[in-house]
């Protein structure tokens, strides 16, 4: 859990600290107070910046502004990347939850699994088993929600550009993660 995928085009050196759910709750409050429970990853700590930064969009905006000499992850079209992230979060994420939640649960260590079940069942208002019982419908809906992305990828192989130069731009990272 908690792997951080900083777009490689930024060409920044960084160390990644992988965390389990329980590890997130133990470690993240030591480096920042997110004013919410549970705290979430990704979080970055940059010696150039006073205090940790969290939330994918805030992190990427910060990196883009703090390192103007490295290639931008937005290829001059920041609003389009924001729109794409919102599309993924709104139209793909819920369906992915229905497809994957039980599989994720079954792969977690005992402590994280107990936490995952309790927190997710509270959020979805039912058991993981009930929530994931109609995976086939979720898969069919997921395919429909993916179709505009599929069409876009058919043009160039990339969401946000025409060649390998665009590898690792924000939209590509969001889709991949
Ligand atoms: N909007 C946030 C979402 C972050 C998020 O939900 N992170 C999950 C892991 S991918 C997390 O840390 N969950 C902790 C928990 O559920 O206890 C972002 O993009 O950074």
3-class DSSP string for the chain: CCCCCCCHHHCCCCCCCCCCHHHHHHHHHHHCCCCCCCCCCCEECCCCCCCCEECHHHHHHHHHHHCCCCCCCCCCCHHHHHHHHHHHHHHHHHHHHHHHHHHHHHHCCHHHHHHHHHHHHHHHCCCHHHHCCCHHHHHHHHHHHHHHHHHHHHHHCCCCCCCHHHCCCHHHHHHHC
Judgement on whether residues 115 and 57 belong to the same structural domain of the protein: no
- Residue 131 has what pLDDT? 97
Judgement on whether residues 25 and 82 belong to the same structural domain of the protein: no
**Closest protein CA for atom 20 of ligand 1:** 55
| The last residue of a domain, from among 16, 44, 66 | 66
Which of 68-72, 103-107, 146-150 has the lowest average pLDDT? 68-72
- Residue 16 has what pLDDT? 85
CATH of the domain at 136: 1.20.1050.10
For 4-53, write each residue's pLDDT tens digit.
455 555 566 788 888 999 999 999 999 999 999 999 999 999 999 999 99
Residue 73 lies in a domain: no
Judgement on whether residues 139 and 102 belong to the same structural domain of the protein: yes
Query: Does residue 101 have a pLDDT over 80?
Result: yes
Judgement on whether residues 83 and 15 belong to the same structural domain of the protein: no
**Closest protein CA for atom 11 of ligand 1:** 40
CB atoms within 10 A of CB 165: 12
Q: Please give the residue range of the domain that contains residue 133.
A: 78-176
- Please work out whether the CB of residue 40 comes within 6 Å of at least one atom of ligand 1: yes
Judgement on whether residues 39 and 86 belong to the same structural domain of the protein: no
How many structural domains compose the chain?
A: 2
Judgement on whether residues 114 and 161 belong to the same structural domain of the protein: yes
Judgement on whether residues 85 and 158 belong to the same structural domain of the protein: yes
> Can you tell me the mean pLDDT for 118-123?
95
Residue 118 lies in a domain: yes
Query: Does residue 169 have a pLDDT over 90?
Result: no
Compute the distance from residue 1 Cα to the ligand 1 centre, in Å: 10
Residue 123 lies in a domain: yes
- Rounded to two decimals, the pTM is 0.85
For a mutational test of ligand 1's pocket, the pick from 3, 41, 122, i.e. the residue with the most ligand atoms closer than 8 A to its C-beta, is: 41
- Please work out whether the CB of residue 53 comes within 6 Å of at least one atom of ligand 1: no
Compute the distance from residue 54 Cα to the ligand 1 centre, in Å: 10
Percentage of the chain modeled with pLDDT above 90: 69
């Amino acid at each position: 859990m908690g792997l951080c995928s900083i777009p490689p085009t930024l060409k920044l050196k960084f160390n990644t600290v992988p965390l389990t759910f329980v590890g997130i709750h133990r470690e993240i409050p030591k480096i920042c107070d997110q004013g919410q429970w549970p705290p979430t990853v990704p979080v970055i700590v940059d010696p150039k910046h006073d205090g940790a930064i969290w939330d994918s969009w805030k992190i990427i905006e910060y990196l883009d502004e703090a390192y103007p000499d490295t290639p931008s992850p937005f290829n001059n079209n920041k609003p389009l990347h924001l729109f794409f992230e919102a599309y993924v979060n709104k139209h793909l994420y819920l369906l992915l939850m229905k497809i994957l939640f039980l599989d994720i649960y079954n792969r977690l260590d005992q402590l994280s699994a107990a936490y995952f079940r309790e927190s997710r069942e509270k959020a979805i208002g039912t058991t993981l088993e009930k929530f994931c019982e109609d995976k086939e419908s979720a898969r069919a809906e997921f395919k429909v929600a993916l179709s505009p992305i599929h069409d876009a990828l058919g043009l160039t192989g990339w969401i946000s550009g025409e060649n390998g130069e665009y590898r690792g731009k924000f939209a590509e990272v969001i889709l991949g993660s």
